[in-house]
Amino acid sequence: MRMVDLIQKKKQGGKLTRDEINFIISGYTSGEVPDYQMSALLMAIYFKGMDKEEIANLTLAYVDSGDKLDLTAIKGIKVDKHSTGGVGDKVSLVIIPLVAAAGIPVAKMSGRGLGHTGGTIDKLEAIAGFNTNLPGDKFISNVNAYKMAIAGQSANLTPADKKIYALRDVTATVDSIPLIASSVMSKKIASGADAIVLDVKVGSGAFMKSIDEAKELALTMVEIGKSLNRKTIAVITDMSQPLGNEVGNASEVKEAIEALAGKGAKDLTAVALTIAAHMTVLGGAFPDFEHAYNELERYIMSGKAIEKFKQFVEIQGGNPGFIDNPASLPKAKKHIEVKALKSGYVAAINAEAIGVAAMLLGAGRKKKDDRIDYSAGLTMVKKIGEYVRAGDTICILHSNLDEHEEAEAMVMNAYSFSDSQPSPIHFVY
């Protein structure tokens, strides 16, 4: 087999066989297939797509490229969730204690931030002492005893996806439905989930900019899950602006605590309850979605959810003191207010630009090895639909840097205004 012939085949819209896909993925992972040929193939897939069988074969080739977690020592149905990536997305921090409080085991593998999108592991590492690198036996025993544990993705879980994702990031081939679907689903399959809830983000801060695209991605992933005997549900949620009011690491932990204590932003609370409710139904804790949603809401109101979060922090080695005293979380030295230049309703927010601004302030990485400033980030003071007067503060930047003009300009340009009130945003579509 020759890589050039396979690129030619896909360029002409042909269907790649299982053997051909295995040849490509194992060759690229081992270094025999060079970046330039893989880049050409990715662009051909971007334009010509893949059918269901090709996507399922690509998913399995990713899974087979590395280790698979064996979670059979964990009792019960292991339900995992995955978000396709967004700005201010701290949903995992809220759902872990909620789902665990319902008695459903959450054995969570999470990633670090990438580009304009944040990562759950980075956020949790803003908590003093929090260990995201639990040894395998401790991870399993925590899930059995407390129904929850989290770890950063092991270096050898789906290494082919890791290498190809990095190449996609620099070849403008991330926003391709077959490539996202196989990338997401391979990680969930390799990390041992029995059932999966997918949070498919749509809007200016997501890879899928329209509902039609989000639906197609959602259906593609659910099909892969079904074909591999994993119960899979996809929920399409809004990412036309950052989720909640905080974008950063320590500040997102604080906002997750507020949601667990019943004082959270409406959009964050609605999305987290929806995802958690589906997870608990798949795990068998409740008979239906409505029942689950109401019960989980009660966990929040009764204090059960925040108590479970305290336990989560403790069993991962962190100091839970910040939960009663959020002011003890890392704080930036400077707070720069961005003010509206004119009056009107906030009509749109470019969430991706907000994510990039947060990264420029130090909340994310420009390069893989950059260090994160846990205290850096942004507070979205005004969101879509709110009326502002010229001179009102619309966003506050939190920074320890001397220079923040570029981030300030990005935030300013990310907001657009209109004279009439825009239609309300649906948090869950």
- Looking at residue 426, the DSSP 8-state letter turns out to be P
Nearer to ligand URA, 104 or 109 (CB): 109
Comparison of 230 and 308: residue with beta carbon closer to ligand URA: 230
> Considering the complex, what minimum distance in angstroms separates the CB of residue 164 from ligand URA?
9
Active site residues: 82, 161, 168, 183, 187
Inter-CA distances, 308 with 90, 239, 317, 335, Å? 17, 28, 14, 32
Give how many residues touch ligand URA by CB under 6 A.
10
CB of 165 to ligand URA, least distance (A): 6
329 Cβ contact list (under 8 Å, min separation 6): 126, 127, 250, 251, 253, 254, 322, 374, 375
Q: Which is nearer to ligand URA, 153 or 280 (CB)?
A: 153
Q: 126, 150, 180, 195: which one contacts ligand URA (CB under 6 A)?
A: 180
- Determine the residue type at 206: A
Stretch that binds ligand URA, among 26-34, 128-136, 182-190, 363-371 (CB under 6 A): 182-190
Residue list 41-100, contact with ligand URA (CB under 6 A): 84-85
Angle between helices 35-48 and 18-30 (to 10 degrees): 140
Report the distance separating Cα 344 and Cα 150, nearest Å: 43
Is the CB of 82 or the CB of 404 nearer to ligand URA? 82
Which CA distances in Å does 158 have to 58, 108, 162, 304, 408?
A: 11, 16, 7, 36, 38
Binding piece for ligand URA, criterion CB under 6 A, among 136-144, 146-154, 172-180, 255-263: 172-180
Residue 138 C-beta: closest distance to ligand URA, Å:
25
Place of tokens 């890589």: 3
End-to-end CA distance of the chain: 45
Residues 195 to 214 in contact with ligand URA, rule: CB under 6 A: 207
Give me the residue whose beta carbon is nearest to ligand URA.
Answer: 183
Residue 402's beta-bridge partner residues?
none
- Tell me whether residue 146 or residue 165 sits nearer to ligand URA (CB atom): 165
Q: Is 183 in the site for ligand URA (CB under 6 A)?
A: yes
> Residue 122 CB, nearest distance to ligand URA (Å)?
15
Q: Across 154-272, where does the E strand assignment appear? A: 195-202, 231-238, 246-248
Please state, in angstroms and rounded to a whole number, the distance separating the CA atoms of residues 277 and 112. 25
Residue type, 232: T
Going by the DSSP 8-state scheme, the letter that residue 67 receives in this structure is: B
Stretch that binds ligand URA, among 133-141, 179-187, 196-204, 260-268 (CB under 6 A): 179-187
Between residues 21 and 180, which has the closer beta carbon with respect to ligand URA?
A: 180
Yes or no: say if 250 and 257 are a contact pair by the CB < 8 Å rule: no
Q: String of b and e for 109-130 (b: at least 16 CB within 10 Å)?
A: bbbbbbebbbbbbbbbbbbbeb
Question: How far is Cα 256 from Cα 269, in angstroms, rounded to an integer?
Answer: 9
Which residues inside 107-166 make contact with ligand URA, applying CB under 6 A?
165
Whose Cβ is closer to ligand URA: residue 120's or residue 375's? 120
Amino acid identity for residue 141 in this structure:
S
CB of 117 to ligand URA, least distance (A): 8
Q: Which of 96, 184, 217, 234 is the binder for ligand URA (CB under 6 A)?
A: 184
- Minimal distance, residue 191 CB to ligand URA, in Å: 12
Residue 225 touching ligand URA (CB under 6 A): no
Distance of closest approach, residue 73 Cβ to ligand URA, in angstroms: 26
Q: Which stretches of the chain bind ligand URA, using CB under 6 A?
A: 84-85, 165, 174, 179-180, 183-184, 187, 207
